[in-house]
């Protein structure tokens, strides 16, 4: 993996307070072009909040967010989206009364900077890629959950992003669908898009991410090559919990070091 | 802009309808010209409201604020010696500024708060018109220069003027329906957060829609003022009308090109029927119509399918997802 010298996204001591509680606490990170980075941590660790801060849905309490060498800390969400940052919502947010195709077109028109006709072509392309093309005329509200998650992905892809943040986009998929999704995400990254994968399914993280960041109580608890982070006993015990560690050991096949 | 056959047919149908309307002016007598003028006026207001209320889904109850502002702006301009047609453009300009002034604070509100804020604007404006005697003539009203000509000629002139404005409102709606502006409004109607996530400048779009509605509403008011040559606060800022316009659009179908027309026409017919046969009961019956429309036809006549109508008699709670022509034509 060749890393460009300048990061695509850089977080400088980013914090966010909710009524005195640090939901995100002094996080500094660098993301490089084309890499897939895992972002893990227990429930309430601040993963979604971090995505909300980067995409402008929440304002930072302190710190700086730099995208492409330019500060986007105080920019509005639609400007950030047009600049090339796309995210999926953990709690899916489709345009329920529009068709699947129209949902994806929305991404292609505004952030993708396309006219209506070209947007439709781009949307169909993205739907084929995410294997939703056969459902394109269905109202988004009638999709099953797994397909709604894919719709979020298709919509974000249509935006032509340079950075894509996937907030538990694979939750609710069955095993073979997950394999498919992993392939999909890999081929997205191969086009040079930087991807942040937030997942509770360790299998997905280990399969995709070269590098993983662990959040706990809003702060970075560990960061490094995924294999190393996963083996870090401190991470497993303290940050993922005992049960989680066991399940991970059973399903991932990665040897887990047991703390003494 | 996506133009498919269904859309082209709709536009052709609309143009034909307006052409027929214009030709009818040659044969209609004064009474029918007046009915036609009222209808054209209501349809203009419905088309105008449909942009904010239908496409964008904001419960704006200030249609009559725009109408009244336009009536007074045009009226005051004309009373000061501005030629009639120019006064209409002045009124449209004032409508634009007023929509900005009202929209920028109000469009930060949502749902009930927005509805209450907009309806309050009607009350405030009526009080201003009542009390600002030097400018508006106060409660006594404002006289405008009377349009010269025989009653028939004048009737025909204002019928055509109103019809022309309704045609403009129709065309504006058709363009909104098919461009990324209208598409964005439909996204905003469903989920503002998701709309900003895909890169829509939500606030700018909302203000833009509000301004379009305001300009068309004010122009309608100005033509009305010139026609009746006399305006007073309770007429220009009529609180019943500010409710009736949304009901008409709901009746016809919100966020559709022809919904405002169908709603306007059927509401006028219903109302005339109620007036004629149930003189003592009319306000009660009108209330009943309003409730029926809101309860049974949340998607409007144009949003209904035959399946929905049959289902309605079984169980009453179905809001069919609106699937648009854009998607259908892509297959
Ligand atoms: N809008 C908000 N107001 C107040 N507190 C919030 C808000 N959003 C998040 N929090 C709090 O911030 C903390 C981090 O939440 P966040 O949703 O970012 O966690 P997460 O890592 O995404 O968890 P999960 O794995 O469950 O999705 C939690 O304690 C949460 O209760
Ligand atoms: Mg989360």
- Sequence-ordered strand ranges (E) for chain A: 9-18, 21-31, 36-40, 62-67, 70-71, 85-87, 163-167, 194-198, 211-216, 219-225
- Sequence-ordered strand ranges (E) for A117-173: 163-167
Count of domains in chain B? Answer: 1
Determine, for residues B328 and A120 on separate chains, whether the beta-carbon distance falls below 8 Å. no
Residues of chain B with a CB closer than 8 angstroms to some CB in chain A: 1-2, 178-180, 183-184, 186-187, 190-191, 193-202, 321-324, 326-328, 330-331
CA of B192 to the centre of ligand 2 (A): 20
Question: What is the reported pLDDT for A230?
Answer: 82
What's this model's pTM, rounded to 2 decimal places? 0.85
Q: Chain A 146-205, CB below 8 Å of chain B: which residues?
A: 155, 159
For B106-174, give the secondary structure using H, E and C. Answer: HCCCCHHHHHHHHHHHHHHHHHHHHHCHHHHCHHHCEECCCCCCCHHHHHHHHHHHHHHHHHHHHHHHH
Residue B195 included in any domain: yes
Please give the biggest Cα pair distance in chain B: 62
Whether the CB of A245 sits within 6 Å of ligand 1: no
Output b/e per residue, B234-266; b: 16+ Cβ within 10 A: ebbbbeebbbbbbbbbbbbbbbbbbbbbbbbbb
Residue B94 included in any domain: yes
Residue B35 included in any domain: yes
pLDDT, tens digit (0-9, with 9 covering 90-100), for A65-87: 999 989 999 999 999 999 999 99
Question: What is the reported pLDDT for A200?
Answer: 83
Question: What is the reported pLDDT for B123?
Answer: 87
For A60-115, give the secondary structure using H, E and C. Answer: CCEEEEEECCEECCCCCHHHHHHHCEEECCCCCCCCCCCEHHHHHHHHHHHCCCCC
Whether the CB of A145 sits within 6 Å of ligand 1: no
Number of Cβ pairs < 8 A linking chain A and chain B: 108
Which of A89, A95, A116 is the closest to B190 by Cβ? A95
Which of B190, B194, B199 is the closest to A82 by Cβ? B199
Whether the CB of A52 sits within 6 Å of ligand 1: no
The residue range of the domain holding B124 is 5-239
Average pLDDT over residues A196-209: 90
Question: What is the reported pLDDT for B273?
Answer: 74
Average pLDDT over residues A128-152: 90
Higher model confidence: residue B132 or residue B279?
B132
Fill in the DSSP letter of residue B53.
I
Determine, for residues B324 and A124 on separate chains, whether the beta-carbon distance falls below 8 Å. no
Question: What is the reported pLDDT for A222?
Answer: 86
Residue B296 included in any domain: no
Higher model confidence: residue B119 or residue B319?
B119
Residue B283 included in any domain: no
Whether the CB of A2 sits within 6 Å of ligand 1: no
Could you report the predicted ipTM of this complex, rounded to two decimals? 0.84
The CA distance from B194 to B178, in Å, is 20
Question: What is the reported pLDDT for A157?
Answer: 93
Q: How confident is the model at residue B74 (pLDDT cuts 50, 70, 90)?
A: very high
* All structural domains of chain A: 1-84+161-227 (3.40.50.300), 91-160 (no CATH)
Question: What is the reported pLDDT for A212?
Answer: 93
């Amino acid at each position: 993996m060749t890393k460009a010298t300048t990061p695509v996204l850089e977080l400088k001591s980013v914090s966010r307070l909710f009524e005195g509680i640090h939901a995100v606490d002094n996080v500094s990170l660098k993301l490089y072009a084309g890499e897939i980075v895992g972002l893990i941590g227990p429930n309430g660790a601040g993963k979604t909040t971090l995505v909300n801060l980067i995409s402008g849905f929440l304002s930072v309490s302190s710190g700086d967010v730099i995208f492409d060498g330019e500060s986007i800390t105080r920019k509005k969400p639609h400007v950030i989206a047009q600049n090339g940052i796309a995210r999926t919502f953990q709690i899916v947010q489709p345009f329920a009364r529009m068709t699947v195709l129209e949902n994806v077109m929305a991404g292609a028109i505004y952030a993708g900077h396309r006219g209506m006709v070209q947007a439709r072509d781009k949307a169909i392309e993205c739907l084929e890629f995410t294997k939703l093309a056969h459902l394109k005329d269905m109202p988004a509200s009638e999709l099953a959950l797994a397909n709604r998650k894919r719709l979020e992905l298709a919509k974000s892809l249509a935006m032509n992003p340079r950075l894509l943040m996937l907030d538990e986009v694979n939750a609710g998929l069955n095993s073979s669908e997950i394999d498919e999704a992993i392939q999909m995400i890999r081929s997205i990254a191969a086009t040079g898009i930087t991807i942040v994968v937030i997942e509770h399914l360790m299998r997905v993280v280990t399969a995709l991410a070269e590098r993983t960041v662990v959040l706990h109580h809003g702060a970075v608890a560990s960061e490094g090559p995924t294999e190393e982070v996963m083996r870090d006993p401190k991470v497993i015990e303290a940050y993922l919990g005992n049960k989680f560690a066991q399940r991970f050991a059973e399903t991932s096949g990665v040897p887990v070091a047991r703390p003494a | 802009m996506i133009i498919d056959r269904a859309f082209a047919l709709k536009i052709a149908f609309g143009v034909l309808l307006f052409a027929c309307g214009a030709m009818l002016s040659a044969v209609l007598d004064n009474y029918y010209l007046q009915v036609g003028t009222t209808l054209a006026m209501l349809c203009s207001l419905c088309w105008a409201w449909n942009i904010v209320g239908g496409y964008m889904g904001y419960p704006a109850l200030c249609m009559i604020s725009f109408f009244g502002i336009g009536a007074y702006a045009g009226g005051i301009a004309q009373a000061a010696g501005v030629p009639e047609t120019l006064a209409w453009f002045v009124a449209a300009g004032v409508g634009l500024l007023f929509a900005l002034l009202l929209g920028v604070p109000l469009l930060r509100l949502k749902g009930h708060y927005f509805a209450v804020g907009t309806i309050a604007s009607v009350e405030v404006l009526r009080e201003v018109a009542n009390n600002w005697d030097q400018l508006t003539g106060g409660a006594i009203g404002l006289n405008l220069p009377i349009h010269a000509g025989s009653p028939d000629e004048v009737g025909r002139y204002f019928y055509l003027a109103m019809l022309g404005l309704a045609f403009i409102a129709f065309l504006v709606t058709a363009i909104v329906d098919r461009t990324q502006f209208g598409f964005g409004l439909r996204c905003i109607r469903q989920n503002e957060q998701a709309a900003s996530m895909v890169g829509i400048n939500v606030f700018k779009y909302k203000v833009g829609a509000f301004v379009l509605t305001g300009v068309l509403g004010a122009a309608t008011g100005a033509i009305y003022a010139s026609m009746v040559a006399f305006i007073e606060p309770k007429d220009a800022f009529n609180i019943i009308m500010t409710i009736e316009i949304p009901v008409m659009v709901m009746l016809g179908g919100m966020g559709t090109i022809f919904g405002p027309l169908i709603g306007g026409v059927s509401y006028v017919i219903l109302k005339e029927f109620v007036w004629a046969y149930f003189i003592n009961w009319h306000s009660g019956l009108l209330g009943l119509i309003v409730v029926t429309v809101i309860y049974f036809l949340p998607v409007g006549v144009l949003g209904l399918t035959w399946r929905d109508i049959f289902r309605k008699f079984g169980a009453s709670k179905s809001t069919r997802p609106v699937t648009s022509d854009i998607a259908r034509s892509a297959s």
